[in-house]
Structure 1
Amino acid sequence: MTAPARYIAVDDNHGLHIEHHNPGQPGPGEVLIAVNAAGINRPDLMQRYGLYPPPAGASPILGLEVAGTVIATGDGVSGWKPGDRVCALCNGGGYSDRVLVPASQCLPIPGALSDVEAAALPETYFTVWYNVFERGALRPGERFLVHGGSSGIGTTAITLAGAMGATVYATAGNADKCAACESLGASRAINYNEEDFVEVLKKDTEGQGIDVILDMVGGDYVQRNFEVAAIEGRIASIAFQGGFRSEVNFLPLLMKRLVLSASTLRAQSSEQKAAIANALRERVWPLLGRGELKPVIDSVYPFAAVAEAHQRMESGAHIGKIVLDLNAD
């Protein structure tokens, strides 16, 4: 008889504690993964506080990305077998010793990366690839700006856009975070508490502006993104931490022929997630395998210290990814 798996439960007061469950066996098209590490993401915090409910049919357990070993496969699964080391984008359930995941959302752990490093890949790389390179159509030689450059998404965007031949800019909240962004390849990082990124980047680009912008802020950044965007620029919004409402003058959208898009990852279909996974395997995983890209890890917490890991993210002090190590004491 299989031993129950630990998982992180949320109580009525939004606290976190360990309980046990049986995640079951994989159905058609699924794999069961023994989880060694799980990434922490801001949507986990939102779900914990009741602000981001899981889609219908998804696991109510927190956790959107894991790394570990396949221990069972369901009917129709090809390409994966028990014993394979994988990282995966979950539909929930990642904060657990075992998790069921669609096989199409799994990717091999690249090169010599550890499970902790690999657990930091799926959520950020799926998000950045889809929004910056598919929807944003960033091309070599173009200028790219990411807001919140020191976050998990931000550090991934800086390194990936740079590896793809773009000139990269970032915003961040203090000098240390700006220095971290520049150490990762940003040609200029702007401290938004001290400088106006619109003025700085207009000057730095000699008035030409930014071709692709990845925005997690929203609020008054919507208008400012319009102002700093280049002719035929593309703006991808993936969060609205600065607010969902803003008074906006849309004239620059018309005059510059801008494209404004927005998306969330979790609610997308399994077919869309599989397509992103396939693109990553072809275009990005070789770079990770050769060590040309590597995730930026801020901190690693044992499973029982998940509340501390959430506190670290809530503080905003992190640079890069926060990861749970399920094998640490």
Structure 2
Amino acid sequence: MAPLEILIFGLGGIGAVYALILSQPELKDVCRVHVVARSNLEHIQDQGLDYESIKFGTVKGLKFAGAYRTPEEAHTAVPKFDYVICCNKAQLSATPSLEEIIQPAVTPDHTAVMIVQNGVGAESPLKKAFPTNPILTAVTWIGASQPSAGLINHNNLPSPCMQFGPFYGDNGEDIGELESAKILQDALEAVDGIGAEVVVDMQTERWKKVIWNAAWNSTTALVQYNTAKFMAATPYSEDLCRNLMKEVVAVAQALGHKVPDSEVDVLMNRCKAHKEGLNSSMMADVANGSQTEVEVILGTPLREAKRLGMSVPILETLYCCVKAVDLRNADRK
């Protein structure tokens, strides 16, 4: 059987770690990994990627089956991809849209498209654009960053390293989503020490992750301080984060997702276990003058709350503040 042709779109920290996992020797006959990158493309093509990984140690000069600037270039090299895995930033208002960008690499009735992104609400445009393709949605708790072009710092690998499953849209019909998810799960778990979980109710898992992101991404981005330092700043900081999480939990529950009230304690304890504190991707985006994922992390929960007539004052305040920071950074360019 021919190896799977897998295209990873977005080779920042998270995308690069999954590219590393899927490039392990155990998978040389299972899949071929291709990547679409932007800022670090020349480095990847010339020298490969370097890693400092909590799982794989020091890796020098990892190269892939193909490295391209655009999905059009990737399609020219590989006419039919089995998977397109999107690890780019989730920005609902981006022009062109994600579905428009990846369209050349998506073969109708064949390619499975998976998003590995923060936030909620990003799957529907993909389902509309690719109605005959399996759409998968994923949540990851991996910790990774790219401190410089060509170097990936991989500092956290929980088990499972990814939860993913089907996004059926409104009709609920399976057109290969579960089969595509199981094939990818088998590939990931063929690598020693890597766990991957297929979950049918992925929207609940996505809302659990957005509860985390809403609290920590927004606060660290606004103050440019990690989680431990933020919570130590005042006697009220932890209560602020808890109450924000409770607001988002209430929205998720009102939408019918099975998120228990106890999830707040679970996520608070997970954060506090990192005693030195955590930086967030949104914190890095603000520091770099980049646009954040404010709409999928804060905006979608806020709009759902407004639609349902719910009061979410902390969520609303933080959304307005992060949105203003985004506009400021855009004006500076």
| Coarse TM-score class (shorter-chain normalised) | 0.3 to 0.5
Q: TM-score, normalised by structure 2?
A: 0.34
Higher share in strand: 1
For CA contacts below 8 A with separation 6 or more, give which structure has more relative contact order.
1
Q: TM-score, normalised by structure 1?
A: 0.34
